[in-house]
Structure 1
Amino acid sequence: RTHVRLSIIVASLGQYHHASPARLKFHLLLAPSKKMTTRGIKMLILALAMIVYVDGFGALPMPEIGRMGARSSTRLHGFPRAIHKEFTVEKATPEVMESLGVRRWPTWGTEGSDKYKTGIKSPLKYYDVNELSYIIKGKMEITPKETGIPVLVQAGDFVTFPDGFACHWFVIEPVTKHYYLYD
């Protein structure tokens, strides 16, 4: 039963991450000790989180897939989606928060972080995956390497960090955020 459930989760992951379900199953079931790529590790963590979700709630929402031709136009309904493709900060609306399921996303905060201390500019951070964040509380400035111009980010904001984006953080007040990583 667990193997069947895991297969369903792996199939869902394969569709969502545009990876072969067989390859994911290999990583999850047959080769956990093999050297894995960063992407493989992220998929494994997501799969394990989904298993915990299934064990806790008894079901996994299976997305509908709508194809409109090319891979880039494949949309998964029921999963969060990108709001923008470039670094963007904007106020969240209750409707968008609800449609994206923001309150179910993982939470992370700067308190206790060695890298993101209040009042100190962080080392340069490179995003190796797309991230959409919702700032629950706190305030910081994000300074993109490309422009060097600080952008204020605070509670109630959605922040899109695209893959390959480089920036410095300057935490003004400790930040807590919900975040979602996507391809």
Structure 2
Amino acid sequence: MIGDVQQLAPIIKDDEWNILRNYYESIFFFSSKALKKAGFKGIELNHIFRQQDEKFIELLNKIRENKMDKEAYQLLSDRHIPGFRPAKDDGYITLTTHNYQAKEINDGELKELDAKEHRFTATINGNFPDYSYPTEKELILKPGAQVMFVKNDINPEKLFYNGKIGKITRMTIILLCKMPR
């Protein structure tokens, strides 16, 4: 298993936790007796790739570890700009609580672009529920659209990573045809 298991805390109701606290040390799955019995070993990676500013990294870790102090709160408050609306070309992203909200925003931004749209339909092998797909089954892209990678580059060059943001500057469609031998 690979992932940031502390990225989002599990949602649990008080009455459920009152029952489960007798069996779990925390609300996270890695506190289960089954996982401990299976002998899983945790490995924590400590290099952050998406941020360079050490102060900001320290702040993010305080949030992640639920160790906020007055200084951290003040740092966040100092950066808060009420009514902030970035310019279209600034490259900001909007964090949402639900995928449907992100889809509404993305669809609206895509609609505003005056460029030809290209549709790409996924080929799915096997039986998987829609919610397990890394993206929409049909991707609609246009030049000028801001995009975010949802997978890491497996090539040695590592040109992109999950979460990297870019802008489509041009699109070239290449068709590969299998020729009979």
Higher RCO by CA contacts (8 Å cutoff, separation 6 or greater): 1
Q: Which has the larger radius of gyration?
A: 2
TM-score, normalising length: structure 2: 0.22
Q: Please state which structure has a larger fraction of its residues in strand.
A: 1
TM-score, normalising length: structure 1: 0.21
